[in-house]
Chains A and B, each alone.
Chain A
């Protein structure tokens, strides 16, 4: 029985509460404990220096220390019931060293000078043991020390300070609204994360960061028992690097989409969306099944984000390109020779895709990455041409560069940091153009909103994506809902079929809260910004079957 199995097991006898255990990332605590301050910065600096000195004494040539307190709260409801509330905390230190040109990592929950010293020594011992099998000594891109600095997610309302009852009331209100509008079942939840991370390294950085993320979501299901059919409609919310203010549902962040209902930008109205969801779930049961063929696709940002994530974000992770993920996530079609050629057309001329960890409200927004590199923005695809990857300090030399992109991340103090995806976003079009204008210009197309089934091969060539809701476009007008829609394409072909991008007024985020990578698997969160975008002549299949 592994740790995750135990967490599930410890929910024994608690019925549906066991579900919440699956999302618990740490040890259960009370909601009040989530508001207690952790140890102060001065104490963390002393502990960090203990690690730096202990590792150096054993022969490490580089050391970084991450003292982390990771807090999470999740609230789950189903119809009229609260299924579970989980408050969790985990606190410890992870120490990474280079000795004999080889990485070593060790972590402990014993955050005392003795515990940290022993942990640092273990990290050096592991590095030395592994150096016997090492064939490529680690070369780190230089990074100037930043001294003592702090960075906090710019939140308005700390989600941990909002009473649990208020969260429950809101979710149950959304559930009731959905049930009143014809839903048979509703599951809803809010997930909240607070990472209190302290980083120190032998480069002379002492970085204290307080990071928040929030994710409200639901799934509404309509059932036709007599005919034996059911359909679900997921929330059109997205996880954000924001505080509880995301739940305010401000009018300025509501967008009437071309299908005639409200989409959301940086503020979400869960009750309103639950009503739309119930109506659409019912409509989906009897919606027209799509005729397979070539269509022009109009993709809403809440859908396109996942396509960007899978077909641009992952293939441009340098560790995949180099083969470090070969046994799990896979490698990449975007090989170094394509990048070196300087003319690899990833997409059409209007496709400009950039990476960053600096956009406000995004999940990747951080001052410094988990190896002390100041976060920034850079281009991945410029005018359709592949120009760069996502790299961390020990990879930059391979690209002939001298500066890390700042993409190192570890999902806990107990996990070793490695290259993770930053925000990867599509730049908006430069001329004034709205989603309504876009629909008007399409003769035979499908307008897709929300994420659905997604699958892509291990080198990121061939993909198939579904969505949450689909609308048929005929001669510039939306004529009705479609079902059984999925599009299949090849990454390069797809991005080269991109013909139009709406302007910056339509630019919105779609995020993923739990992106998995690595062995043992680690989770990270990233956002993808885009405006509604058109792709021409994409192959659409019908996924309906009879059993």
Chain B
């Protein structure tokens, strides 16, 4: 049984804590099942499932920290584990940035677990693939897709009396459909905590339509264009911005959030006044873990309001050094990319197209890399469905473009926005942006 109950987890953690002779100790237990199925050329090529449970300890003497972990839960193994972590800690160099462990905290309720996702088995995964392949086989199309699901728990407790426990599930599904002549390609991706919200057939249908509609792409001149970014495309770029909402690098003078002459740009109007970015751990569309990497409870936070920078994240160490309260990042899934809520508008993508004299509709971006961290300039390409709009209508598919653009400049060039939808754990609206910089053409399909 990979998922322990809260009580079972607490019992083990308390037992391990009782073995400690260090100044401070923290015990974490993680358990879960990760499953996947991958298909290409209309046929399954890999699938698998991993079950894992692991207990880790961090032992601390002064500012010296040692870590160790095990998957053996018997008393003898756990005692040995604690002794090993303490031994490592004694030999470790001091970490001057070490912050003492937290005492008991109150965390917001979590809605990260879905029973439907927890029930996924190999047959279910095969069906997801079959539903997707089923509509592309025999239609001069090929599907390549990937489903990954997770169900598990994490619990931790420390020698200062803190304890937390959370169960969570996730499912990520993406599919690329290509025409067999290699001239058209379409893509769609969805992520949920609750798999009952996923229909691989519907998602594949979107990718299929894009593949068919994009198969006669024409070359047009690169340059500055009005773009309509579908939520996936907008999310590709906006996630690059939110990663920089960090006070330390700004204070250190090495971030786009650094102020000329020193300090951060909190209080400065950096974006169009329609830009408001918040995070809310209780939002049910993008549920997230109730605590952050420092073990602090996540809070409802306004990062940008009406274009003005309101907050940057402060780690416990940096907050103490600067004499302010710590503030966790939005902290959705993965490496801090998710958890942000971008206030949108009320225009649909169809409305945006209708009001566009000359522009480009973008499905997604690809291979995005930082070019200049000072200005947050990124480069990358459009992929899997790029269309030319003229006089309020989609005229024809176009060859892919390379862009060189900064999300900061983009958020100063907003024409309109639509209703936000979940993309990679954040809520992102479709956006119409003027003067988006495409610098060259690509023949890639």
Hey, which bits of chain A sit against chain B, CB under 8 A?
1-6, 8-18, 22, 27-30, 81-85, 103, 105-107, 109, 126, 129-130, 132-136, 168, 184-185, 221, 223-230, 232, 322-328, 330-331, 333, 335, 414, 416, 453-462, 464, 466, 484, 486, 488, 490, 519-520, 539, 541, 543-547
A-B contact count (CB 8 A): 289
Q: Write the B256-296 contact mask toward A (1 if CB under 8 angstroms, else 0).
A: 10111110000000000000000000000000010001110
Sample (11) of A-B pairs whose CB atoms are under 8 Å apart: A2-B333, A14-B65, A28-B56, A81-B97, A224-B253, A230-B258, A230-B373, A327-B175, A328-B146, A330-B444, A519-B146
> How many angstroms from the CA of A281 to the CA of B68 in the assembled complex?
38
Task: Check B178 against A105 for contact (C-beta < 8 Å).
Answer: no
Whether a CB of chain A sits under 8 angstroms from the CB of B124 is no
Q: Write the B334-364 contact mask toward A (1 if CB under 8 angstroms, else 0).
A: 1100000000000000000000000000000
A86 CB, min distance to chain B CBs, angstroms:
8
B13-21, B378-386, B389-397, B428-436: which lies at the interface: B378-386
Task: Check A462 against B402 for contact (C-beta < 8 Å).
Answer: yes
Whether a CB of chain A sits under 8 angstroms from the CB of B443 is yes
Task: Check A458 against B444 for contact (C-beta < 8 Å).
Answer: yes
Checking A223, A326, A545 against B144 with a beta-carbon cut-off of 8 angstroms, the contacting residue is A326
Whether a CB of chain A sits under 8 angstroms from the CB of B158 is yes
A248 CB, min distance to chain B CBs, angstroms:
24
> How many angstroms from the CA of A4 to the CA of B32 in the assembled complex?
12
A265 CB, min distance to chain B CBs, angstroms:
28
Whether a CB of chain A sits under 8 angstroms from the CB of B156 is yes
Task: Check B145 against A458 for contact (C-beta < 8 Å).
Answer: no
Q: Which of A227, A322, A543 has the most CB of B within 10 A?
A: A543
Task: Check B126 against A133 for contact (C-beta < 8 Å).
Answer: yes
Other than the given A1-B170, A85-B92, A185-B254, 5 more pairs (CB < 8 A) read A9-B293, A15-B315, A27-B69, A230-B373, A326-B144
B43 CB, min distance to chain A CBs, angstroms:
5
Hey, which bits of chain B sit against chain A, CB under 8 A?
26, 28, 30, 32, 34, 36, 38-48, 50, 52, 54, 56, 58, 65, 67-71, 84, 87-88, 92-99, 101-102, 122, 126, 129-130, 133, 142, 144-146, 148, 150, 152, 154, 156, 158, 166, 168, 170, 174-176, 178, 182, 185, 187, 252-254, 256, 258-262, 289, 293-295, 315-317, 333-335, 366-377, 379-381, 383, 400, 402, 404, 406, 408-409, 439-445
Task: Check B409 against A547 for contact (C-beta < 8 Å).
Answer: yes
> How many angstroms from the CA of A13 to the CA of B126 in the assembled complex?
41
Q: Which of B43, B261, B370, B371 has the most CB of A within 10 A?
A: B371
Given A13-B101, A455-B367, answer yes or no on A547-B375 (Cβ-Cβ < 8 Å).
Answer: yes
> How many angstroms from the CA of A546 to the CA of B150 in the assembled complex?
43
> How many angstroms from the CA of A252 to the CA of B50 in the assembled complex?
49
> How many angstroms from the CA of A414 to the CA of B50 in the assembled complex?
9
> How many angstroms from the CA of A453 to the CA of B379 in the assembled complex?
9
**Which residues of chain B are within 8 angstroms of A546 by Cβ–Cβ distance?**
375
**Which residues of chain A are within 8 angstroms of B32 by Cβ–Cβ distance?**
1-3
